[in-house]
Structure 1
């Protein structure tokens, strides 16, 4: 199987892919940024499905670095893979390993569900404050580590030209 990795600037909620990845918080009950946009676009069914996921501890349905999957409801995507990226505290609290875990867990779910196309946002790069250059290097490295078991099409969906530029710079030193 030949996989393609693409970097695009778009609204992830409009993409015609089998799965989109949600940069969620541990409750999985919606929030700001891409998480809020995905919940709004998916409609109320997504919140119901997320509430049905078991809590692993009070108010935590998905610990940082892990992933969960739900239907996409009103989205063009069949599935939403929710993952919780780390908050950036300067890099000394295992943030890189946790962020890498987000990509590994999301890709594992995609492979398990035989998903052929998946779109990732820039996990942890918004309100969680992860430095873009470091985050995109991890995203590309972890994704390429899954070759050749990747879905046929992997998109890094960027919100804004600055994030596109960060991915393009990182991809320039990495084969995509």
Structure 2
């Protein structure tokens, strides 16, 4: 079942890559508790739409989120080393976190997994974006397959506090 507005984000351990490309394992509760966060999920690091449009939009608007007191996290069902390389290649700034959900446990707990087997990708994350305050989902946007509209940085700036 897909997580709903008003529900708490699940608490699992996940690998985090910060903008300085350091890898650490932390609980998701420690990432979300006491913070305002936009979390967006992508089907995969280094994939065309994710690398050319989705992540770059958030990198471009990162300072606007920061000015509003909103942290930005990008998640994919990839291992931490792939996410680290992607962070470096995309010039992700310090403070912007990439979450490596290697086995898809966090994605599954959110109910946002998709089967990408037809494309040789296996189980991946659907393209989504959510806004959470203190670990509680306040906004949730899920893209239709093949689209990038409601989960862009610009769309999430519309719902983030001013």
Q: Which structure shows the higher helix fraction? A: 1
TM-score by length of 2: 0.31
Query: Highest CA radius of gyration, 1 or 2?
Result: 1
Q: Which structure features the higher share of strand residues?
A: 2
TM-score, structure 1 normalization? 0.30
